[in-house]
Amino acid sequence: MKKNMGMADKLIRFLVAIAIAVLYFMNVISGTVAIILLILAVIFVLTSFVSFCPLYLPFGISTCKKKS
């Protein structure tokens, strides 16, 4: 897997995942919506750690800085 996520992208995904977790544990979100958002948060954290987003691949998107 070639890395296709830059630092800003990883940081944003991680912060969104934390926000979803906080909303869940403060009982702001619940039910089916909470489950879907928690799954999305886990995916965001995993993709942040591996620096690879599979959805970027078919579109040719890369947020990594270009190497000179």
- Per-residue pLDDT at 65: 82
Average pLDDT, the chain: 92
Q: What pTM does this model have? A: 0.86
Q: How confident is the model at residue 1 (pLDDT cuts 50, 70, 90)?
A: confident
Q: What type of residue is 11?
A: L
- Per-residue pLDDT at 68: 60
Model confidence pLDDT, tens digit, residues 31-59: 999 999 999 999 999 999 999 999 998 99
- Answer yes or no: are the C-beta atoms of 14 and 44 closer than 8 Å: yes
Three-state SS across the chain? Answer: CCCCCCHHHHHHHHHHHHHHHHHHHCCCCCHHHHHHHHHHHHHHHHHHHHCCCCCCCCCCCCCCCCCC
Domain range list for the chain: 7-50
Q: Which among 21, 20, 8 has a CA at the least distance from the CA of 48? A: 8
